Chains A and B, each alone.
Chain A
């Protein structure tokens, strides 16, 4: 090995010692400029953008088959509330007809055949 090669070899081994504050300053810069950590899936994975947990409305839309369906359900729900609250004309009479005993008594209908023939003989 030549003299110069010896010098190069020695130079490779001699790294100037940084001042006391250099590493601290460099790491402080790194911390200050570092982006906020994203959620990582599992400890061993390299960085990638893990799926973000869906929000409440996104989950609800998923149950109803999408945002469009959810919107339709919401519209139907509001319509029902409006009908019940606002009582359009004619609705009150229909409600009375359906919900009172008088309506049932005035229109008896034999809907079920007699069951006596089916009872076991005693």
Chain B
């Protein structure tokens, strides 16, 4: 399929083309899916190298499932985010089980103050946001990232998290409130000194 036609094709069409041997379809799919998946996994895991492993694994599974893909169901993007979330959860769980001193699981909402405040003191806004996100419980973190950074609608977030729409909305709302509590009232630290918004 000509390159300009590929750019107009949906993700699902690209996946079907890939499964039928189109030599350019994989490249087009990677261009579309790799950046958002990497962004999502990096913010959920807080580790770029681990996030890359997750993204490679997600796309590997996508290539394998492509010949059996049935159009009309979940979109490839939704499926990919869901697999990425599950792989991130596995890695986060494995980290908790390797906490020095035993198998005690880390609390769901550890004290965020040191990391977040440190970043804010440095004036690094993005680092402060990332630190605050990492302080959230995992599913709230995923929900907030999917909604407010990836820009996905709540029904799609629900599908990705394997939850109902109301549960997804609740996760987004609670996560955002927690972030506000960690980051709010710190205008000066976040570089807003003298600005009124």
Q: Does A associate with B in a complex?
A: yes
Chain A interfacial positions (CB closer than 8 Å to B): 1-4, 6-8, 10-12, 14-16, 18-19, 22-23, 25-27, 29-31, 33-38, 40, 43-44, 46-47
The docked-state distance in angstroms from the alpha carbon of A93 to that of B16 is 72
The docked-state distance in angstroms from the alpha carbon of A44 to that of B30 is 22
Q: Does B55 contact A (CB under 8 A)?
A: yes
Beyond A2-B197, A8-B148, A30-B26, is A18–B67 a contact (Cβ under 8 Å)?
Answer: no
Q: Which partner residue on chain B sits nearest A43 by CB separation? A: B2
Cβ-defined contact, B176 with A4, below 8 A: yes
Cβ-defined contact, A46 with B13, below 8 A: yes
Chain B interfacial positions (CB closer than 8 Å to A): 1-2, 5, 13, 16-23, 26-27, 29-30, 34-36, 38-39, 42-43, 48-49, 51-52, 55-56, 59-60, 63-64, 66-67, 125-126, 128-129, 148-149, 151, 176, 179-180, 183-184, 186-187, 190, 192, 197
Instruction: Tell which of B1, B29, B38, B56 touches A43, judged by Cβ atoms closer than 8 Å.
Output: B1
Instruction: Tell which of B43, B59, B126 touches A30, judged by Cβ atoms closer than 8 Å.
Output: B59
Chain A nearest CB: distance from B69 CB in Å?
Answer: 11
The docked-state distance in angstroms from the alpha carbon of A4 to that of B132 is 11
The docked-state distance in angstroms from the alpha carbon of A85 to that of B84 is 76
Beyond A27-B26, A47-B20, is A15–B39 a contact (Cβ under 8 Å)?
Answer: yes
Which applies to chain B's interface (DSSP): helix, strand, loop or mixed? helix
The docked-state distance in angstroms from the alpha carbon of A1 to that of B26 is 39
Nearest 7 pairs of A and B residues by beta carbon: A37-B21, A47-B20, A30-B26, A33-B63, A8-B148, A7-B129, A11-B149
The docked-state distance in angstroms from the alpha carbon of A44 to that of B5 is 8
Cβ-defined contact, B20 with A38, below 8 A: yes
Cβ-defined contact, B52 with A19, below 8 A: yes
Cβ-defined contact, A47 with B19, below 8 A: yes
Cβ-defined contact, A25 with B129, below 8 A: no
Cβ-defined contact, A10 with B22, below 8 A: no
Cβ-defined contact, A26 with B38, below 8 A: no
Chain A nearest CB: distance from B42 CB in Å?
Answer: 5
Beyond A14-B126, A18-B34, is A35–B183 a contact (Cβ under 8 Å)?
Answer: no
Chain B nearest CB: distance from A19 CB in Å?
Answer: 6
Chain A nearest CB: distance from B92 CB in Å?
Answer: 18
